[in-house]
Amino acid sequence: MGKFENKVVIVTGAGQGAGKKLAIRFYEEGAVVGLLDLNGQNLDAVVREVNPDTGRFLTYAVDVSDNRQVTSAIDDIGKRFGRIDILINNAGVLHKGMIESSTDTHMKLMVDVNLMGPMYCTHASVPYMKENGGNIINVSSILATFPNTGSGAYGAAKAGMIVLTKVWAAELAPYKIRVNCYAPGVLNTPMAEDVIKNRAESKLCQIPLRRFGETDDAFDLVSFFCSDQASYITGQTIGLDGGIWATQTPTAAWKL
């Protein structure tokens, strides 16, 4: 019997990377999983890979920045199973751009997907969580608190996720809904492909643990957030980053 037997879980951005891993691991642990992603072909590929039981692995080609699409998909899941236990606001997109050269389209995309999307998903899910309680997991980024040149719009949106985590934790506590967040550094996903492929050593020199994160690391943390062991934890953001830039000399001890 899995740790999340018969729980109803929604994962956004589930077509690849950490979202895909989260969806698969929750399914393997017995959950009913709703996978939301903009790319329907990616979702089809995940289904072929998993070959799931009928009715326990549901895919929705959804643009999380479109409130109507989000509400339609989440309503389908909520009404079909009568509840939603876990929502993971994982979907995100990063396109860098200096403020002087950023277009309206670029800035709007960063905010709509990375900030408005989680708000739409949470707004639609809460009515299906209120009766039985649940967990909402937001995904921020190291760029929210340790920003990089050219990632202003993205970092600002991800910083907003940390604020929303705190506010929602207070607003939803009466319904036994806990809200927590994690902020990845460099995880081995398509979003970090360029860093890992072309700048690995310079980046590893910033990380005390001297390795990049894996998608299983994300599941382990999310699984803890959603467990009884974390029943008194809400409104928190945890860095999932190997201790990146914990000190001015993060890997000096490796030379001792």
- In terms of Cα–Cα distance, which of 80, 154, 81 is closest to 114? 154
Evaluate whether 196 touches 212 at the Cβ level (below 8 Å): yes
Helix, strand, coil fractions of the chain, as percent rounded to 5: 50, 15, 35
Evaluate whether 214 touches 241 at the Cβ level (below 8 Å): no
In the set 27, 60, 128, 154, the catalytic residue is 154
Catalytic status, residue 128: no
Gap between the Cα atoms of 117 and 134, Å rounded: 19
Evaluate whether 127 touches 82 at the Cβ level (below 8 Å): no
**Order of strands across the sheet with 57-61?**
57-61, 32-37, 8-12, 86-89, 134-139, 177-184, 237-240
Gap between the Cα atoms of 110 and 113, Å rounded: 6
Q: How far is CA 251 from CA 117, 188, 197, 213, in A?
A: 37, 20, 20, 16
Main-chain dihedrals φ then ψ at residue 88, nearest 5 degrees: -115, 110
How many CA atoms are closer than 13 Å to the CA of 31, on its beta-carbon side?
26
Active site residues: 154
